[in-house]
Amino acid sequence: MMKSTIRRAISGMALTLLLPLGQAIAASNMVPDYEVKLLMNPNVVLDADHKLKSTVLSTFNMPTSVTKMNVLFMDTNAKDIYGNTWIARIRKTEGESDFELTYKKRYAIDNGNITEALYKANAEGFDSTEKNYEAQVEWGYQKKTLSISNSKTDSKSGYSGMDLPSASDSRSLLKKNIPGKMDNWLYSGWGKSMLDSSRKYGPILAKRSVGTWSGLKLYIEVWPILNQAGTGTDYIVEASFKTTSEATASAKHDELQAYLISRGWFVAEDSLKTQLIMDRY
């Protein structure tokens, strides 16, 4: 009996040693946080100056002051970066001295199956051992997307206030800070090669208001985006909140939607700001 037990133990150890390292010690999936994003009707919630009406501000305990954010994306004319489900973004936020550089990989969440999207990301190297990226589920009206983001800050002389860098400086900043996973996505140096051929999509000067709703910090952003004809502006108004709990995200998503509907402020569409920018600029 003792010999049989020892033989089984030795066999098990031998099998473990024969397994590839990845199989023996498979890393778990990343743990995301959640950002719920719902659209509001600009024709109802904005005044003639395209600012949030006082009734909206008072409802969510928001001051009249806003934070400005100037945003651009860099991609090739053929949108090779976006087409491979990455984005390269530069943002300048009012009151901050540096540019924020964000490299984001997106995974579609099919049929609401967040775990399956996390497994896909894991298979491509984004797992719980990853310290340079953050996972977030972007939870819209009906659509959910998993975003894996790497954010860095950097500066460039010659710019002040809300200025964004030139196309040339944007390329050099993004290439200088590009994470290895993006740079080597399709082949070694792919990311830098795409950025070498990139141009600006944007810029968009958005404005953010911050308040509270149902015990959560609530953000409302107004994004003026070129209209489809290229002759005017479409105003995208997006209400959002963040949470680390999927259950909270689900429950409060439905509550906020119902509340916005009750006020006549809701737009029953998914927020697709980045797609609109990539299509229209």
**What is the per-residue DSSP string for 144-207?**
EEEEEEEEEEE--TT--TTPPPPHHHHHHHHHHH--HHHHTSSSTTHHHHHHHT-EEEEEEEEE
In a domain, 8, yes or no: no
Q: What is the mean pLDDT of residues 133-147?
A: 98
Residues 67, 93: contact at Cβ < 8 Å? yes
Q: Is the pLDDT of residue 51 over 60?
A: yes
pLDDT score recorded for residue 25: 47
pLDDT score recorded for residue 26: 77
Q: Is the pLDDT of residue 7 over 50?
A: no
Domain region containing 234: 31-280
- Count how many domains the chain has: 1
pLDDT score recorded for residue 70: 99
In a domain, 163, yes or no: yes
Q: What is the mean pLDDT of residues 252-263?
A: 98
Q: Is the pLDDT of residue 17 over 70?
A: no
Q: What residue type is 21 in one-letter code?
A: L
Q: What is the mean pLDDT of residues 138-163?
A: 97
CA dist 112 to 30, 127, 168, 248, 249, Å?
17, 20, 40, 15, 13
Q: What is the mean pLDDT of the chain?
A: 93
pLDDT score recorded for residue 9: 41
Residue 209: phi and psi, rounded to 5, are: -110, 145
Q: What is the mean pLDDT of residues 80-100?
A: 98
In a domain, 228, yes or no: yes
pLDDT score recorded for residue 82: 98
In a domain, 14, yes or no: no
Q: Which CATH number belongs to the domain containing residue 77 in this structure? A: 2.40.320.10
Label residue 223 by pLDDT band (50, 70, 90).
very high
Q: Is the pTM of this model over 0.85?
A: yes
Q: Is the pLDDT of residue 226 over 80?
A: yes
Residues 96, 224: contact at Cβ < 8 Å? no
* Pairing label, strands 199-213, 86-93: unpaired
Neighbours of 1 (CB within 10 A): 5
In a domain, 125, yes or no: yes
In a domain, 168, yes or no: yes
Label residue 18 by pLDDT band (50, 70, 90).
very low
pLDDT in tens, 172-218: 999 999 999 999 999 999 999 999 999 999 999 999 999 999 999 99
Least confident among 5-14, 221-230, 249-258: 5-14
Q: What is the mean pLDDT of residues 74-78?
A: 99
In a domain, 26, yes or no: no
Q: Is the pLDDT of residue 232 over 80?
A: yes
